Structure 1
Amino acid sequence: MVKPRKGTAAIRHAVLLAAVIAAGMLVTACDKAEEPAPPPVPNLDRYYQQKLSWGSCEGYQGGGELTAAGIECARVTVPIDYGKPDGDTARIAISRLRAQGTRVAALLTNPGGPGVPGLTMPLALAKTPVAERFDVIGMDVRGLGASTPRVSCRTATEYETDRFVLGRTDPLAEIDQIEQDNEDYANSCAQRTGLALLGHVGTGDVARDMDVIRAALGEQKLTYFGGSYGTRLGSTYAELFPDRVRAMVLDAPVDPTTNMGDEVITAAGFQQAFDAYAADCAKAPDCPLGTDPKKANDVYRALVLPLIEHPIITPDRRGLDYNAATTATISALYHPDSWPALTKGLTELTKGNGEALLGEAGAYQEVSSDDVHRAVLCLEEVRVTDRAVAADIDHRSRAAAPAFDDGLINAEAPLGTCAFWPVPPTAQPHVPTAVGLPELVVVAVTGDPATPYAGGVNLAKALGAALITYEGTQHGAALEGIACVDEPVLKYLIDLTPPAEGLRCSKP
């Protein structure tokens, strides 16, 4: 036992001890007082409880065709920033084709991109088996198409001018100028769109919009079909709301661990598809690439490289330059159904005619919004801010796809738009985790040019999903009339029975 102290020394000690204890208590109290209180949960009731007003699609972008097909449209109000639900809002355009038979649920869809409008998806799926049992729901994601406000960086005229002029620019001599153009583009996006929307067009915000749409549709849980970038939307929704998923089919899946626009992976995928096309074309004696597939790369480059310096001017005064020719080629490589059109275009090119290829390039460019595409990628990809790193990526891309090597190689490469993007990233590639998620279905094609097969394997593994493998060369395979894919997909969507483990098939 410690004996009590006597006298003034003891008093001083007691006072000091009391002061120390009091100080400690004060510090503890202050610490507790200074600890930030958890932020209040934003009240989103007014969004989740809104009632939809379905009506004619007239007045929506592409609405005339939808209305003629018996498809209805509506708009869903969402906050631009989910952390500020009382702030500015966006209006998401959605469409609906009612189930033609006994209804199972509403099937929300997305065609990919990022930047591809989805309002017409019910029209695209109208003759598929899902239209019999599901209300097929399309949507133009925030910033895009018939949704408002829209991401806007360039006018159509400015885009065409940039494509034509910059497509002829020699990057060896004008790296600084190209970077300046990229920075100007980023600044234009900020000025015309506003930083608030530009910082909230990423996958996470769209996934939250999907949940509001689910609630507005009166669905307790989400039934979803997404292709290409739509698989990134699906996996993000699964991470955020695993307990609100009924069923998901993710077709042509994006690898969750890589940049969506990884140049080296994409280059290798399209070279593989080009090789498959060249081998198929070589079976015909009049193939514009010749009858020896091993020489196809060189023959193709001999056709398109002169367009860098000497575009072909068409009768309507449009120009087929190198960028347009390769764009048309890449567009055709997405699916074998487009290979005959590519053969026709390349055959015309051998005769100095560029109209067919220019038409293919224009159709491809009209499909998506380049502005939204760039905005999403800049928010979610690992940004390259070093010219040497950019050059390394460029060199590896050329090696992976020799058919598309323009020969303009340098020790440095210009930095892309994302290096100058005015808002910071909101997400990065990662392995998704979703505890309590029901079994999903992933459909991956062995020769997919845009989203290589390995990425589908990775996504299925990460989500614990069943994997359907389709052996072929095309971008996606679900709901395209391929029985060995569509039958198990439909069975899963209707009664939640997953496909057999390791299911692998090919077109008869």
Structure 2
Amino acid sequence: MQCARLTVPLDYSKPDGDTVTIGVLRHKASDSTGRVGALVVNPGGPGASGMALAASLSTHFSGSELGQRFDLIGFDPRGVGASEPKVHCLTDRERDAQRAEDLGVDGSPAGVAQQESAARDFAAKCAQRTEHGPEMLANLGTRDVARDMDVLRSALGEPKLTYLGYSYGTRIGYTYAQEFPGNVRAMVLDGAVDPSQDSLDEQIAQGAGFETAFNEFAAWCAARQDCVVGADPAEASQAFQNLARPLIDNPVPLRDGRKLTYADATLGTIQALYSQQLWQTLNTGLNDLRSGRGETLMALADMYNERDPGGRYSNNQDAFTAIRCVDDPPVTDKTKILDAENRFEQVAPFLDDGRANGAALDSCAFWPVPNTLQPHEPKISGVPPVLVISTTNDPATPYQAGVNLAEAMNGALLTFEGTQHTAFLQGNQCVDTAGSAYLINNTLPPVGQRCAAQ
């Protein structure tokens, strides 16, 4: 594999001003004579590493027709991973302390004040500790990542972009298509973020998605003798609450000196619901919790937060918040926030903490720079048909979002019937064959095609 840095303007309105660099990784096509071009990939997040995705996909690519025909290109979006400068808000110790405080469960006026103080402090530290400060934060969002991706396309010598975006990477894809419609060759958008939803509606839709995945986990678990949520899936939410809620007042001490809080137990559960491969680990972790041990659930929560065993964090969570705050309008109406919190608990009862909600403002309400995007339905012309892949029981990006995006972009919809987050190049032959045929030959799957889990 080859790596490089791509230099781009910090602020595209000042092309001769300060610059930033984008980390890029390339796995070259194995058949130079039959090479189609470069396939640029992004895993979403926002804030996840495209270089890491390319590295993880490279083994699969090496033995496939895609690997023969395409260079595989992963890039870390500006401010993320190997790109420089990185968004930096909290130290490792501060991140551990923030998780240990578990402020989100206290909806009292005092609790809301604490949450808002922490949110304000986080926003201030992002501006203080990130190189170029507010100017970097103002030019960090998907609008500018799409522009970077077009510079990358040009630097790779590609007349048109071939792109694979997962999850939040679908937002990068359709933003690019709006900005540079004449530069698109093909796009696979897998696990769509609904472009027309605001941040509150998106959270509620995610809550419903995780509830569906939790119910699927409960049905799988019910057939096991050691099922921690019991033999009746209808009782699973209550069983989970009975295990998790006591952590609010009595977090479980861990061997490394930390404590498993309610927030980390639920976050670890959410991490496991992204993939059926983690369901056994989740059942083990919840059984451990019932016995007073929290290491397994904390390991899942650490996986979500990208914390290594030595206590070092990637900047994923800092970048996640920074990007969302510049991509979406801030929500400052507490009536709307409280309504969204109540609706979230209705659609995802297993995540109801049993405490009163308080409608605290998040860090985006205190962000030092304005947002650069608005929720909207893409208005795109002159773009070849894209392929949208949507999973029926996707916990993080619900199925309907993919339906909506395919319709908005006049693209084709490929349905995967499964319970996981995204599907392409993850071992399902039906999905992989259809997606590969589209990328190589621009051949769309038949209208209404559905792929079953194997």
Give the TM-score, by structure 1 length.
Answer: 0.84
Is 1:133–2:69 an aligned residue pair? yes
Alpha-carbon deviations, 1:280-317, whole Å to 9, x = none?
10011220111000000000010011111111111221
Match of 2:82 in 1: 146
Match of 2:452 in 1: 506
Q: Distance in 1 between matches of 2:256 and 2:381?
A: 57
Return the match for 1:379 from 316, 321, 326: 326
Give the secondary structure class of the aligned counterpart of 1:120.
helix
| 1:260 to partner: Cα distance | 5.3
Match of 2:378 in 1: 432
Match of 1:456 in 2: 402
Moved more, 154-163 or 260-269: 260-269
Q: Distance in 2 between matches of 1:85 and 1:168?
A: 42
Moved more, 491-500 or 375-384: 375-384
| 1:400 to partner: Cα distance | 1.0
Is 1:354–2:284 an aligned residue pair? no
Alignment: residue pair count? 437
Match of 1:314 in 2: 254
Give the secondary structure class of the aligned counterpart of 2:8.
strand
**Contact 1:110/1:139 (CA < 8 Å) preserved in 2?**
yes
Alpha-carbon deviations, 1:190-240, whole Å to 9, x = none?
122201110011101000000000000010000110100000000000001
Q: Distance in 2 between matches of 1:349 and 1:174?
A: 26
Work out which of the two has the higher radius of gyration on C-alpha atoms and give 1 or 2: 1
Structure 1 gap ranges (5+) = 1-70
Q: Distance in 2 between matches of 1:257 and 1:72?
A: 38
Share of identical aligned residues, percent? Answer: 48
Report 1:78-117 matches (<5 A). 78-101=8-31, 102-117=34-49
**Contact 1:312/1:352 (CA < 8 Å) preserved in 2?**
yes
Instruction: State the one-letter code of the partner of 2:84.
Output: T
**Contact 2:274/2:420 (CA < 8 Å) preserved in 1?**
yes
**Contact 1:168/1:308 (CA < 8 Å) preserved in 2?**
no
Q: Distance in 2 between matches of 1:200 and 1:334?
A: 30
Q: Distance in 2 between matches of 1:207 and 1:218?
A: 17
Instruction: State the one-letter code of the partner of 2:75.
Output: M
Is 1:74–2:74 an aligned residue pair? no
Q: Distance in 2 between matches of 1:142 and 1:295?
A: 45
Is 1:405–2:349 an aligned residue pair? no
| 1:417 to partner: Cα distance | 1.1
Instruction: State the one-letter code of the partner of 1:96.
Output: R
Report 1:33-72 matches (<5 A). 71-72=1-2
Instruction: State the one-letter code of the partner of 2:37.
Output: A
Match of 1:422 in 2: 368
Give the secondary structure class of the aligned counterpart of 2:305.
helix
Alpha-carbon deviations, 1:469-496, whole Å to 9, x = none?
0111111111111111111111111111
Moved more, 107-116 or 122-131: 122-131
Alpha-carbon deviations, 1:21-41, whole Å to 9, x = none?
xxxxxxxxxxxxxxxxxxxxx
**Contact 1:334/1:450 (CA < 8 Å) preserved in 2?**
yes
Match of 2:123 in 1: 186
Instruction: State the one-letter code of the partner of 1:77.
Output: T
Q: Distance in 2 between matches of 1:120 and 1:413?
A: 36
Instruction: State the one-letter code of the partner of 1:400.
Output: V
Instruction: State the one-letter code of the partner of 1:264.
Output: I
Q: Distance in 2 between matches of 1:364 and 1:132?
A: 33
Moved more, 448-457 or 179-188: 179-188
Distance 1:345 1:166, change over 3 A: closer
Q: Distance in 1 between matches of 2:203 and 2:104?
A: 21
Report 1:362-377 matches (<5 A). 362-366=302-306, 369-377=316-324
Instruction: State the one-letter code of the partner of 2:301.
Output: A
Give the secondary structure class of the aligned counterpart of 1:444.
strand
Structure 2 gap ranges (5+) = 307-313
| 1:167 to partner: Cα distance | 4.1
| 1:452 to partner: Cα distance | 0.5
Give the secondary structure class of the aligned counterpart of 2:51.
coil
| 1:169 to partner: Cα distance | 6.2
Alpha-carbon deviations, 1:171-206, whole Å to 9, x = none?
324211211111111111112220111001110100
**Contact 1:125/1:131 (CA < 8 Å) preserved in 2?**
no
Match of 1:155 in 2: 91
Q: Distance in 1 between matches of 2:380 and 2:104?
A: 47
Q: Distance in 1 between matches of 2:173 and 2:350?
A: 33
| 1:132 to partner: Cα distance | 2.6
Instruction: State the one-letter code of the partner of 2:236.
Output: A
**Contact 1:395/1:409 (CA < 8 Å) preserved in 2?**
no
Report 1:192-271 matches (<5 A). 192-193=129-130, 194-259=133-198, 262-271=202-211
Match of 2:232 in 1: 292
Instruction: State the one-letter code of the partner of 2:4.
Output: A
**Contact 1:110/1:118 (CA < 8 Å) preserved in 2?**
yes
Is 1:447–2:379 an aligned residue pair? no
Alpha-carbon deviations, 1:10-64, whole Å to 9, x = none?
xxxxxxxxxxxxxxxxxxxxxxxxxxxxxxxxxxxxxxxxxxxxxxxxxxxxxxx
Q: Distance in 2 between matches of 1:82 and 1:439?
A: 29
Give the secondary structure class of the aligned counterpart of 1:372.
helix
Root-mean-square deviation over aligned CA pairs: 1.3
Match of 1:18 in 2: none
**Contact 1:264/1:396 (CA < 8 Å) preserved in 2?**
yes
**Contact 1:100/1:131 (CA < 8 Å) preserved in 2?**
yes
Q: Distance in 2 between matches of 1:141 and 1:177?
A: 32
Give the secondary structure class of the aligned counterpart of 2:414.
strand
Return the match for 2:431 from 460, 469, 485: 485
Distance 1:490 1:364, change over 3 A: same
**Contact 2:273/2:420 (CA < 8 Å) preserved in 1?**
yes
